Amino acid sequence: MWDKSNDDVYPTVSSLLQHFVSDQRSRLIYRGLGYHQHTLSPSIVRAKISRKLEAIHGGDSQTFKELTYLHWFVNACDDAGLQVAGDSSELRGFLKEPTGQYSQGRNVDLFKFPSLWPTDQDSVFRFLAQAQHHGVPTRLLDWTSSPLVACYFAVSQALNERAKQGDKADLSNWMVSIVELDCNAAGSFEDTFRIRKAPGSTSKNLAAQKGMFTFIKGFELDSLDINNHELSRTYLKRHLLPLSEAKALMQHLERLGVTIATLFPGYDGAAKHATVAMMLDDLDHEIRDGIEPQG
């Protein structure tokens, strides 16, 4: 659960953006959450797992579920003639026989030492980053070095969440959240989780979004959520904004050049921009006029 003492609530878009402009501290990264109670659990936690994997590996099945998704992804890339990030004999060898570094640099079988996953090999990390950015469930959690990019994703996620909830959505108490992670303060906890940046060439989306990643090594924490760490309050903070300010925030971001078309370069991004604009108008109409959301 979130520690509310580490929350800053901003009544207006101007006050939120003014904070980000005036905060000159170095090595801060951000993640936008569409609903203030959402956690920092990565997508692999919510992904489906086959009964066969669970029966074979039991409590360690999370590791092998992730590896299975990665196998499917790389095989599909090969079939379609798509370039694989970090592709090398090292990466292919790892996917065939997953190993990780144990004490004194000795490579050991990950099937026997699942707490060593994911390996620190650069080629494996780049492949993980590419898979994550194309929707493959992994333990990587997306962050950005730009608070404006995080603001965009917070509103975008809120629109999708509200659409899923339909008339069950309570808009009056809904807030979007921009989570701030202080990399300097978190540096002493690298035995618990990692903070890494992948090369921009890994994905054009990654470069446009100024992307970073955090991930848990092994399974020391429940649900792979860094917020479960007992000292997370020393490096995590939430900036909260009422959902009623969503349209104003998006208008400010668009004037600053941050849109889905710039964050997802290409025709798909341009098309998504039109859809998001329509959903935002509908949400703003409901909030301003007091109309109950329709299912």
Domain end residue (candidates: 110, 133, 156)? 133
112-120: list long-range contacts, CB under 8 Å, 24+ apart. Answer: 114/60, 114/63, 114/64, 114/218, 114/219, 115/217, 115/218, 115/219, 115/220, 116/217, 116/218, 117/63, 117/66, 117/67, 117/217, 117/218, 118/66, 118/215, 118/217, 119/94
Co-location of 262 and 218 in the same domain: yes
Is residue 191, in this structure, part of any structural domain at all? yes
In the prediction, which pLDDT does 7 show? 95
Residue 24 sits in which domain range?
Answer: 4-42+143-289
- Average confidence (pLDDT) over 249-274: 88
Peptide bond into 147 cis (omega under 30): no
Co-location of 152 and 266 in the same domain: yes
Query: Residue 274 burial by CB count (10 A; 0-12/13-18/19+): exposed, middle or buried?
Result: exposed
In the prediction, which pLDDT does 103 show? 59
Co-location of 129 and 170 in the same domain: no
pLDDT, tens digit, 9 for 90 and up, residues 154-189 = 999 999 988 888 766 778 889 999 999 999 999 877
pLDDT, tens digit, 9 for 90 and up, residues 44-71 = 888 887 777 777 766 666 667 888 899 9
On the question of pLDDT at 206 being above 60, the answer is: yes
Is residue 252, in this structure, part of any structural domain at all? yes
On the question of pLDDT at 294 being above 60, the answer is: no
Co-location of 32 and 118 in the same domain: no
Question: What does the CA dihedral 120, 121, 124, 128 come to, rounded to 10 degrees?
Answer: 30
Co-location of 177 and 232 in the same domain: yes
Is residue 100, in this structure, part of any structural domain at all? yes
Is residue 104, in this structure, part of any structural domain at all? yes
pLDDT, tens digit, 9 for 90 and up, residues 245-260 = 999 999 999 999 998 8
Is residue 295, in this structure, part of any structural domain at all? no
In the prediction, which pLDDT does 295 show? 47
CA atoms within 13 A on the CB side of 251: 9
Could you give the number of structural domains in the chain? 2
Co-location of 168 and 124 in the same domain: no
Plot region of 18 (φ>0 → left; ψ -120 to 50 → alpha; else → beta): alpha
Co-location of 171 and 87 in the same domain: no
In the prediction, which pLDDT does 220 show? 61
Is residue 218, in this structure, part of any structural domain at all? yes
Instruction: Kindly state the tokens that stand for 219.
Output: 């399974």
Co-location of 229 and 272 in the same domain: yes
Q: How much of the chain, in percent, has pLDDT values that exceed 90?
A: 43
Is residue 127, in this structure, part of any structural domain at all? yes
In the prediction, which pLDDT does 293 show? 47
Cα separation of 38 and 32, whole Å? 10
Q: How far is CA 120 from CA 161, 192, 215, 222, in A?
A: 34, 14, 11, 21
Co-location of 184 and 120 in the same domain: no
Co-location of 118 and 174 in the same domain: no
Co-location of 83 and 176 in the same domain: no
Domain end residue (candidates: 133, 163, 188)? 133
Domain end residue (candidates: 133, 155, 178)? 133
**Higher-pLDDT residue of 70, 204:** 70
Co-location of 202 and 264 in the same domain: yes
